[in-house]
Each structure stands twice: as structure tokens, then as C-alpha cells.
């Protein structure tokens, strides 16, 4: 080893020891006859003291070094005169006796500090320098720990980690696949997996009964903010279980992770049906760090000649506690917020419950004090509360109110990143009607089992009413994991493919192997997958997944550091039996 | 849970318990008034006893079930009358009271037993059934354990697992890349990594100092037997280390794995230089489970008018202990063996050291007893030994003798799969001359550092003599891991690219990001990668890696189970900006 210690481990108790450290120059303070250097490595920063006595061989070298030079220094640990108690090594310094420059460095294009002066593009281009920053490094260390603890938990539950293939077969259902032209089978392509879904189901058919994998998945989508073309999943499947078993097992995983990564005890996860989530929060991933549930007002507000409400399918509102004194400007901001095209409400009605108990609304013309008193009762308000109401088509209005609720939550500081609220959303619809294509799509995927009680609806042409044994784990308003009980019966699977518009031939071509496998004794099984990047960023208290991925791609799917994708040799292209248009 | 216990856990101490099991029907023995079923799951097999009393509801179902049906049974654990002590559950059976068929099964195309009647092709097409066989399942369980123990060890040494990207940039050096056309950047391609080499080096530049990953890699090669287009590596890199540190660290890993996976204590690994390995074994991956080192005979055999030896660059032989009584037929077989085109020797000379001490050779015409006595001395033979000698061009002869040595080792039972002999081969040549292309190639890869003592040879045009700080770990004649100290200096790296025939522009296009990174303070670093599939098959005592991969591909790169690669939709191809020729 070129070092005896790291830059993070020396303490007062080491005083007097001769040590050798290696690391990068964080800072040089030249004081004339002497100099201080902060030497940094993965483990911390240690202060070096250099006496610039010209007889010392290193005094000449000293003048040349700059930020990010790589040094190897030997010296004696000494108690500092002026201690820095903000850093673990802050009580000591090294009196340097030998000094070697292992490598030089150009001046980096941005500062290697927590609050760097580098913008996003520059940081990504020089990601190898960005990763030197303590906070970015900490993100990846956190990721390592989450992976480690995930494995510890699942290993303890007899899950087997099985690697499924990356070069698989393209399936037209769902998002677009990345494909790989086959040189040995010209005109044919592999696809990169969007998830190991069918393989993990085959492993269940094989009797592997508890499978997991922390696995890369791929999706060739136009990247929305914070989507990556390659992403990582914690992918799991179990046999001989019912939904309840899966929920309990993975509630256990999440509790284990919070406990062992964050030191937080999570209580039993509440469960809410999809229908209730939509009704109470207007979202299938409600942020339950704060209450502010929806209150439906149709019965309270209709018939008072206020056309907007009278004609609305749904009048629904929320109560913002203690916001009665919002200024006109603040209320206008909220109105503008809900009227933004991406939210699309036509207006916002409010009612202030004043400190003296009186109520004033923006629709006083239609609703007198007694009528408004009914509103207040519906919301169970207290003096000082503000009621905000939207009206219109039910689905759209709920969605808009969800956005308003979240906005208010943020404004009121109710969405603290260090508070965690987890829940299960259950009983998702099996199918979702796509207006554009005029047909039903699987809400999760084609392998999700309908609730046994609802199977008859499949034959009664009530497809939209069929509920699935499907579940999502939601934390702080983010879908962290999702899964379902699977169909394990060939006939039912065939029927599902039919409903989803596959001809028998297409179903056979795409999923024949799975349907064949189901002929040979498939066990009842169910599973779940967690978005690993998202889970890490949630644990790290960040909004973006990008800084929890070592080498992420930008919104055009480019790695600007290595400049990929890139053109390739024309011979290489020809050898693949393809041509670039 | 649909079960209370697994089929592997019930013992005599459980007698009297009411239990529910789930599993697959391994075997039904219908005895008329009663029946026995062997029920199988991942954990074992448990015997079920069914009283076919017609009043019991399950007696009708019983007649329909066959092999591989999925059952759920409830009953009472009872001591067996005739115990089977060969299986852990063999002292008990379940007296079944309830019985449910969870799923039916067609008759599988081959028997689900250790020695199946299914051929390779059938097994691969129905891999999901093949994986039900206890021995195949055991291979994947072993793989899980090797991965787990690898992580345990490396985690304990402060290595961080970092995921490197799968969609990277194509590099023309080395094997052929799989490429992925980019839809968002038409005309451009990602490549799938042959190894995360440059990324792990960048992580060292980033200060991550100890990195590992168990990672999928890809190589689009014409598949030789037992090569897979996608394979898994244990990939590692360390900073601020010298070769010695890397050897010690990963010797530690391998000892840990042998201890914790196989229960075997491995002694300190011997080290041999590449030059010595070639001289003593004719191979850079010698099988050291047995001795039989090469003995060079030029000085002993020349000048006796035997033209073959006189004209040979090298005369070299091995001593097969106790084989003096090989029959004419056996010796002919060995001669035919070395004369096979892929080995290419022109003939085989032998000398028997008889029990009475006399020596008879196949070249008695040229070598009298006294001359042969000299041979015997060179080999330090004992009565009963057989000397086998090849002659010709040095390199080719050594390679042929290596094959003969291995063949003899096999014939003599010296290559027991449960014996493990590990060693390091060090001081590999940096460069390797390719006759066809008329230029030098990197023996490991372009990032390998020459030995400091040999750097001057780079400028003296003695490229073939430059040794590298490169090392392989060899176990039982198989290269299990390999790595090197890396170049961490931009100038030296540039010089290497030049020697390897890159123009400055090409080097910049392909590896500019690495050379740029080296400008900003790259630390001294070194690393290694282990072939994970191979390591698992070695631990499993198998020759082929295929059965240690859940879903392998065949020699044409096809997954015959899912039928991939396959044609894809023409619109999908057009969207990628390419065309199939």
C-alpha cells in the first residue's frame, strides 16, 4: 500500500505516530515560511503542515503544486494548536517529513466542493471530477448501503439472487425496447429488457419460489425530466403466496431499509384502495406526509343558482389549515396555479373561515353565511382555515385538486424531505381504457391477475370495473414499488391476451414460451419491483435520481462524458446486416 | 402463505403436527386402496400418504394427477414404517386429509431427475423445466452463494459497489461489441460493455479508491464451446496500491470463497512468472494439480545423428510416473493425440524406464543405453516411469507438450475436480505480436502498465521484451481472474496508444475522456476481474459454464426457449433510422 492510513481516520489518540497518507490537494495555504495543505481522499480531509525550510527537499516542489494534485506524504501526527471541531480529523495535523507528487493536475473546470460553481452540463461532462465532491460521493455510498441492506434482508428470507439475461426478445406491448442487431442471425434483433418480468415468472415455474435481483432495465422513451434510459430495479417474485404475504414481506424490506440505512422506525403501512386514493387525494400515489383530504361538496353546494357548481359533475375541495389570512396576491397565485394549462382548472373558489368565526367566500353572491356554514361543517374547519374548491368533470377536477393540494403542502412546509410517510395502494383497476387507441391496456402488465371476485366481469363486458390483485408502495407521494399477483393459468392468460388485442398468433409469437411453461404446472405466484434509483434518491432526501447514478445520461440519452452514443465504423455496421438510413 | 412448511424441512420431531405443503408431483405410487406421492419443491421431497377411501373427497382427483402437477396438501406428520435414510425427510410421511390441485401439468418432455433423459437441445428449449432438476437448481444456488460471499468479503474491505452504465461507447480495440442503435440520436450507436474497464478507472480518478461490481459484460464473438455472448464478471479496482497489494487482497477473496462456499482451506498461492510457466508447463495457465514439469533436453539429446532432434529448436519432454508398461496401443493413442491437427506435433518419442532399471526407447537406433541413462537422469526417473519427448519450434512444441501433459494428467486421474490448485502467473509480456496484422497488440488491454524497469525498452524498439505489471489467477488450469497495474499518466498512456497503432485522433475519439481525466490528478491504481460464471462452474466441479447460468444461449447466440433474437416490426426498425440489408 502506498499509504498507512486514510485521510479520514487520524485522531488525537494517534498523536506521535509516523504515518503515510495519499490523496488530493483540496487547498494550499502558503504562509511564507510554512504552508498548510488540506489533503482529501474518500474518507475525509487531513491537514498537513509543511515547514518550508529550504534544506528540506520538498520545499521546491511545494511551490508548484495546486488544487487536485495527487500527493503521498509521510510525517508525524501532532495535536493542532487551533482545532477544527467541525471535522473528525480536526484535532490533529501531520508534520510532513517526506513529500511526493504522485500526479499533477490541471485546474479543474469547477470547484470540488459541496456547493460547486459548476453547472449541470459541466458537471456531467467532467463527471469523474464531480464524483470527487463529498456530497455526490455520499450519494453513491448511500446507494451501496441500500443495495447491501436489501440483499441482507432478502438473503435472510431465503430469496435467491438469479441473473436473468440482458439479450432477450422484443415485445411490442408497453414502452419501446432498445434493440441489438444480431450479427450471427442477420435480420434478427435482441431486445434489452424493460424488466425481467417473464423470466422471473419462469423461475417460479421452475420452482425457485423466492427470487430477487438488483438489475439494470432499459426503456427507449423520450426522456422526461428525471427518467433514465437505463435504470435499476429491485426485482422480486414469490410462489405459493397470496397478496397479503407479498405485502407483509416487502413491508418488512422497507422497514428494514429505513431502520438500517436511515435509523428510522417505520410503523405498519396503512393501506388504501385505488378508488379511495383517487377520491381522497385525486392521485394513486398520495403524499400522506400531510392530511388535507378531499371533501366532496356536491350535496352541499348544488341548487344555489351558481351555474359553475350546478353544472359540474364534481365539486370538491380541500381545507388549508390556518391559511384564512392569505392575501389577495397569494390567492391569485393559487388561482393562476390551477389555471395553468398542464393543470387546466377553470377557476378556484375559496372561503375564509375568519378568526371571529365569520366566513367570507369568493362566491358570496350565491352562498350566504348559513350556506357557507355548511361548507365549513363538511370540512370540519376551525377559525383561521381556508377552504379551496374546484369544480368540473370528476377525473380532471380530482387531478387538478391533487396538484393544488401538493402545492399547498409545499407552501405550508408539510413536505419535509426528512419525514417519511409510506403506504400501500391496493385494488388497482386491471385495465385502463385508452381513448386514442380505442381499446383497453393493462394497467400494470398483461400478467396481472384479476381479483377472483371480479373475474366474471371479464365476460360481462365490464372491463373497466375489473379490479386487479395489484399493489403499489407509495412513499412521500412517489411510487417506489409496484407489483401484482400473477395469472398462473394458461386459459386465463390467453383470455387476457385476447382482451388486450393480441391475436392468438401474436400472443404465441411474443409469449408462447410463457404460455407453454404454464402447461407444465405453474404455481400460484406474485411479485413486486422497486425503483432502486428512486428509492436511493428518496433516502438521500433528493428530488432527482441523477445524482444517485454514477454515470447518468442527459435528457437526450447522451453520456456527455464519454460522448455516447457515437458513430461507428461502416464495416461494423455492414457486418451486422444493417444500414444507416 | 399457501403452505406452513416446505417439502424439505419436516423431521421425526415434527410427528403429530398438522401441516400444509405445496409442491410438484415427483412420483405417484398407486397401491390400490392407498397411494404414495413424492411431493417436491426447492427445499426437498416429502412423502405423502393418501388413503383412497371413496368417502374422502380427494379420491376422485387422485386418479387424474400425474407428474409435475402442482398440489397443496394438508395432513399430519407421521413416522414412516419403512424409513429412507438417504433423504433428510425420509423418516416421516404426511397422512393427507385435504388435497387440492393448484395446477395441472402436461407430461414433461423429459424426466425431472438428476440423470434426465432429455438431451441438451430439449433441456435448453424447456429450460424452465430443466431448472426444476435438483442438480441444476443446486448450481444456481451455489452461484448465489458465491456472489453473496464475494460481496461479504469485499464489503468488509471497504470496497464500494458502483453500477457502471450498460449503454456505452463502441471501441474498435479487442473483441467485437454488441451495438444498440440510438433512436434519439439517429445514425449513432451505443455499445454494450465488454468490461467496465474505463469506468472503473474513472472511478479511481474520482477517488473511489476501492470499487467492485458483479456485472454483466458482452462480447459479440463467434462462440467457441462454452463462451456466452453475455457473461458475468467480478470487477474490482483499487487506488494507492502496488501489484503486491492487489495480489494479497484477491488471494484473500479466493481463500474466503473456498472457505465459506466449499469449506476448503487454501494455502498461500504460489507465484510463477509467465516466462517460467511457459518453460515448465508450456502454458500461461498451468494445471498445477499435478507436477509433471517440462524437462528441456537439447543438451542431452543433440549430436547423436537423430535428425529430428538435431534440427529442432527445442527438444522437451515430460515424465509420466509409473507408465512404463503402457501398451503399444496406448502409446499409439498418445502419438495420434499429439499429431492431431489442432496440436500439430509431427511425432512422439518415448523411453520406458523398466522395472529392472533397463531403458528402452522408440529411438534406440540413435540412443544407446548410456545415452538414455542421461535422459533418465534429466527427468530424475524411477523404475516404471515413461518419458515422452517432443521436438520442433520452441513455442509450438511447448504448446503441444502442454496438451499432452494435460491429456496424461486426465488419463492418470491427476485432475480430480474436487482438488483445487491455485496460483498466480505474473510478469506477463506487455505486448504480443500479431503476425497477420504485422503489429503489436496489448496482451491484456491498452491500459496495462509496463514494469518500470522495462519502460526504457519501449524506446529501444524491444517491444516484445517489455514485461507488464499484469497477473492472472489460475485454478486447475483455468484462468479465473486477471488484471494489472494501470497506466495513470497521460503521456505514457498516449505513448501506449501510439504503439498500438492508434493515431492521435483515433485515441482522442475513443479514449479522449480517459486521457482528459488523467490530466486532473489520476492516482496510481490497479485492478482485476474474475470470470464469475467460470468461477461458479469450477466450484461446482463442472467443465461447462452453461449449467451455472439460469438462461444461457447456445453456440449460435440463440435463446431457444424464448426464441431470441427474432425479427422485429419494420416500423420499429425505421424509427431507429436503420434498415435491414
pLDDT in tens, A312-354: 999 999 999 999 999 999 999 999 999 999 999 999 999 999 9
Cβ within 8 Å of residue B198, ≥6 positions away: A562, B447, B511, B513, B514
Please state the length of chain A.
581
Selected for mutation to probe chain A from B512, B521, B559, B576 (highest A CB count within 10 Å) is B521
Structural element, H or E, at residue B180: strand B179-181
Q: Do A567 and B41 touch (CB under 8 A)?
A: no
**Do B408 and B427 belong together in one domain?**
no
Interface check B420 vs A, CB under 8 A: no
Q: Do B166 and A140 touch (CB under 8 A)?
A: no
3-state secondary structure (DSSP) of residue B218:
strand
Q: Do B180 and A565 touch (CB under 8 A)?
A: yes
**Do B301 and B372 belong together in one domain?**
yes
Neighbours of A14 (CB within 10 A): 18
Rounded distance, CA B286 to CA B476, Å?
7
Rounded distance, CA B121 to CA B127, Å?
9
Neighbours of B307 (CB within 10 A): 8
Q: What is the band of A536 on the pLDDT scale with cuts at 50, 70, 90?
A: very high
Interface check B491 vs A, CB under 8 A: no
Is residue B1 situated within a structural domain?
no
Interface check A393 vs B, CB under 8 A: no
Is residue A115 situated within a structural domain?
no
**Do A213 and A247 belong together in one domain?**
yes
Of B520, B523, B491, which Cα lies nearest the Cα of B507? B491
Q: Which residues of A touch B145 (CB under 8 A)?
A: none
Arithmetic mean of pLDDT, B7-24: 98
Interface check A70 vs B, CB under 8 A: yes
Cβ within 8 Å of residue B415, ≥6 positions away: B287, B289, B290, B406, B409, B476, B477
Rounded distance, CA A564 to CA A177, Å?
18
CB crowding A328-359: b at 16 or more within 10 Å, else e: eeebeebbebbeeeebebeebbbbbbeeeeeb
Rounded distance, CA A507 to CA A541, Å?
43
Closest by Cβ to B140, choosing from A160, A245, A561: A160
**What is the average pLDDT value for chain A, to the nearest integer?**
94
CATH number of the domain within which A16 lies:
2.40.50.140
Q: Which residues are paired to B233 by β-bridges? A: B215, B531
Q: Which residues of B touch A581 (CB under 8 A)?
A: 186, 574, 577-579
Rounded distance, CA B235 to CA B198, Å?
12
Is residue B353 situated within a structural domain?
yes
CA distance A429 to chain B (A): 24
Is residue A557 situated within a structural domain?
no
Of A404, A400, A403, A399, which Cα lies nearest the Cα of A387? A404
Separation of CA B139 from chain center: 13
Domain boundary among the residues A396, A415, A434 is at A415
Interface of A with B in 251-290 (CB under 8 A): none
pLDDT at A173 over 70: no
Is residue A305 situated within a structural domain?
yes
Interface check B16 vs A, CB under 8 A: no
**Do A428 and A488 belong together in one domain?**
yes
Q: Do A68 and B521 touch (CB under 8 A)?
A: yes
Least confident among A69-83, A462-476, B145-159, B565-579: B565-579
Selected for mutation to probe chain A from B73, B158, B163 (highest A CB count within 10 Å) is B163
Its domain, for residue B402, covers 290-415
Cβ within 8 Å of residue A291, ≥6 positions away: none
Residue ranges of E strands in A415-524: 422-426, 431-434, 439-442, 470-475, 478-485
Q: What is the band of B183 on the pLDDT scale with cuts at 50, 70, 90?
A: very high
Domain boundary among the residues A381, A415, A449 is at A415
Q: Do A564 and B229 touch (CB under 8 A)?
A: no
Arithmetic mean of pLDDT, A129-153: 97
Q: What is the ipTM of this complex?
A: 0.94
Sign of CA dihedral B511, B516, B517, B522: positive
User: B469-505: per-residue pLDDT in tens?
Assistant: 999 999 999 999 999 999 998 889 989 998 988 888 8
Q: Residue A569's pLDDT is what?
A: 87
CATH number of the domain within which A312 lies:
3.30.1360.30
**Do A261 and A164 belong together in one domain?**
yes
Closest by Cβ to B561, choosing from A148, A216, A513: A513
Rounded distance, CA A544 to CA A228, Å?
11
**Do A82 and A26 belong together in one domain?**
yes
Rounded distance, CA B180 to CA A166, Å?
13
pLDDT at B543 over 90: no
Interface of A with B in 306-335 (CB under 8 A): none
Max CA distance (Å), chain B: 96
Q: Residue B581's pLDDT is what?
A: 85
Rounded distance, CA A487 to CA A483, Å?
12
**Do A499 and A526 belong together in one domain?**
yes
Arithmetic mean of pLDDT, A461-489: 95
Domain boundary among the residues A390, A415, A440 is at A415
**Do B74 and B96 belong together in one domain?**
yes
Interface check A181 vs B, CB under 8 A: yes
Closest by Cβ to A42, choosing from B208, B549, B580: B208
Q: Which residues are paired to A72 by β-bridges? A: A22, A100
Interface check A461 vs B, CB under 8 A: no
Selected for mutation to probe chain B from A170, A487, A568, A572 (highest B CB count within 10 Å) is A568
Query: Which chain A residue's Cα is nearest to B208?
Result: A42
Q: Which residues of A touch B1 (CB under 8 A)?
A: 240-242, 245
User: A29-79: per-residue pLDDT in tens?
Assistant: 988 888 999 999 999 999 999 988 777 777 777 888 999 999 999 999 999
**Do A146 and A266 belong together in one domain?**
yes
Rounded distance, CA B538 to CA B415, Å?
12
Interface of B with A in 560-579 (CB under 8 A): 561-569, 572, 574-579
What percent of chain A stands above pLDDT 70?
99
CATH number of the domain within which B225 lies:
3.30.930.10
Closest by Cβ to A180, choosing from B41, B168, B178: B178
Q: Do B550 and A199 touch (CB under 8 A)?
A: yes
The reported pTM is 0.95
Task: State the total domains in chain A.
Answer: 3
Q: Does residue B339 come out as left (phi exceeding 0), alpha (psi in the -120 to 50 range) or beta?
A: alpha
**Do B211 and B321 belong together in one domain?**
no
**Do B402 and B427 belong together in one domain?**
no
Sign of CA dihedral A127, A131, A135, A137: positive
Query: Which chain B residue's Cα is nearest to A124?
Result: B513
Closest by Cβ to A187, choosing from B172, B488, B580: B580
Is residue B355 situated within a structural domain?
yes
DSSP class of A258: I
**Do A294 and A321 belong together in one domain?**
yes
- Listing DSSP states for A147-210 in one string gives HHHHHHHHHHTT-EE-PPPSSB----SSSPPPEEE-SSSTT-EEE--S-SHHHHHHHHHTT--E
Cβ A209 vs Cβ B41: under 8 Å: yes
User: B123-144: per-residue pLDDT in tens?
Assistant: 999 999 999 999 999 999 999 9
Is residue B173 situated within a structural domain?
yes
Q: Which residues are paired to A402 by β-bridges? A: none
Is residue B482 situated within a structural domain?
yes
Q: Which residues of A touch B2 (CB under 8 A)?
A: 240-242, 524
Amino acid at each position: 500500500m502506498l499509504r498507512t492510513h486514510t485521510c479520514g481516520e487520524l485522531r488525537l489518540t494517534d498523536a506521535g505516530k509516523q504515518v503515510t497518507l495519499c490523496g488530493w490537494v483540496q487547498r494550499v495555504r502558503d504562509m511564507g515560511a510554512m504552508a498548510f495543505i488540506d489533503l482529501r481522499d474518500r474518507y475525509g480531509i487531513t491537514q498537513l503542515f509543511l515547514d518550508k525550510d529550504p534544506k528540506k527537499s520538498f520545499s521546491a516542489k511545494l511551490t508548484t503544486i495546486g488544487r487536485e494534485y495527487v500527493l503521498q506524504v509521510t510525517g508525524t501526527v501532532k495535536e493542532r494548536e487551533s482545532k477544527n471541531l467541525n471535522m473528525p480529523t480536526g484535532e490533529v495535523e501531520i508534520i510532513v517529513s517526506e513529500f511526493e507528487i504522485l500526479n499533477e493536475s490541471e485546474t479543474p473546470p469547477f470547484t470540488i466542493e459541496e456547493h460547486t460553481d459548476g453547472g449541470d452540463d459541466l458537471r456531467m461532462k467532467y463527471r469523474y471530477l464531480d464524483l470527487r465532491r463529498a456530497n455526490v460521493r455520499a450519494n453513491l455510498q448511500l446507494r451501496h448501503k441500500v443495495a447491501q441492506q436489501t440483499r441482507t434482508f432478502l438473503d435472510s428470507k431465503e430469496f435467491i439472487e438469479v441473473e436473468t439475461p440482458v439479450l432477450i426478445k422484443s415485445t411490442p406491448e408497453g414502452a419501446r425496447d432498445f434493440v441489438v442487431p444480431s450479427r450471427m442471425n442477420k435480420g434478427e434483433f435482441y431486445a434489452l429488457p424493460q424488466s425481467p418480468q417473464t423470466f422471473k415468472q419462469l423461475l417460479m415455474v421452475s420452482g425457485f419460489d423466492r427470487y430477487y435481483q438488483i438489475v439494470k432495465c432499459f426503456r427507449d422513451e423520450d426522456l422526461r425530466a428525471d427518467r433514465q434510459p437505463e435504470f435499476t430495479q429491485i426485482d422480486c417474485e414469490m410462489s405459493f403466496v397470496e397478496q397479503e404475504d407479498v405485502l407483509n414481506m416487502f413491508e418488512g424490506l422497507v422497514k428494514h431499509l429505513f431502520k438500517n440505512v436511515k435509523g428510522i422506525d417505520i410503523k405498519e403501512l396503512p393501506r388504501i384502495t385505488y378508488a379511495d386514493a383517487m377520491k381522497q387525494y385525486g392521485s394513486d400515489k398520495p403524499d400522506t406526509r400531510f392530511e388535507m383530504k378531499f371533501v366532496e361538496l356536491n350535496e352541499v353546494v348544488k341548487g344555489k343558482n351558481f351555474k359553475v357548481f350546478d353544472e359540474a359533475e364534481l365539486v370538491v375541495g380541500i381545507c388549508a389549515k390556518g391559511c384564512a389570512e392569505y392575501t389577495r396576491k397569494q390567492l391569485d397565485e393559487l388561482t393562476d396555479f390551477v389555471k395553468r394549462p398542464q393543470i387546466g382548472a377553470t377557476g378556484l373558489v375559496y372561503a375564509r373561515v375568519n378568526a371571529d368565526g365569520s366566513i367570507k367566500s369568493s362566491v358570496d353572491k350565491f352562498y350566504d353565511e348559513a350556506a357557507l356554514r355548511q361548507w365549513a361543517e363538511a370540512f370540519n374547519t376551525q377559525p383561521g382555515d381556508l377552504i379551496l374548491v374546484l369544480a368540473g368533470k370528476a377525473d380532471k377536477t380530482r387531478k387538478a385538486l391533487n396538484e393544488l393540494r401538493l402545492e399547498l403542502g409545499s407552501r405550508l412546509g408539510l413536505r419535509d424531505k426528512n419525514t417519511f410517510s409510506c403506504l400501500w395502494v391496493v385494488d388497482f383497476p386491471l385495465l385502463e381504457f385508452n381513448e386514442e387507441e380505442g381499446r383497453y391496456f393493462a394497467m400494470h402488465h398483461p400478467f396481472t391477475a384479476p381479483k377472483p371476485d371480479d373475474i366474471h366481469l371479464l365476460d360481462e363486458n365490464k372491463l373497466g370495473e375489473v379490479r386487479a390483485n395489484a399493489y403499489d408502495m407509495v412513499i412521500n407521494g412517489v411510487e417506489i414499488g409496484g407489483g401484482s399477483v400473477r395469472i398462473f393459468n394458461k386459459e386465463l392468460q390467453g383470455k387476457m391476451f385476447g382482451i388486450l388485442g393480441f391475436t392468438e398468433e401474436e400472443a404465441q409469437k411474443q409469449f408462447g414460451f410463457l404460455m407453454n411453461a404454464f402447461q407444465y404446472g405453474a404455481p400460484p405466484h406474485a411479485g413486486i419491483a422497486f425503483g432502486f434509483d428512486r428509492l436511493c434518491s428518496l433516502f438521500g432526501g433528493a428530488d432527482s435520481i441523477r445524482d444517485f447514478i454514477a454515470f447518468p445520461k442527459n435528457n437526450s440519452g447522451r453520456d456527455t462524458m464519454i460522448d455516447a452514443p457515437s458513430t461507428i465504423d461502416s464495416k461494423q455496421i455492414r457486418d451486422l446486416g444493417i444500414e444507416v438510413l
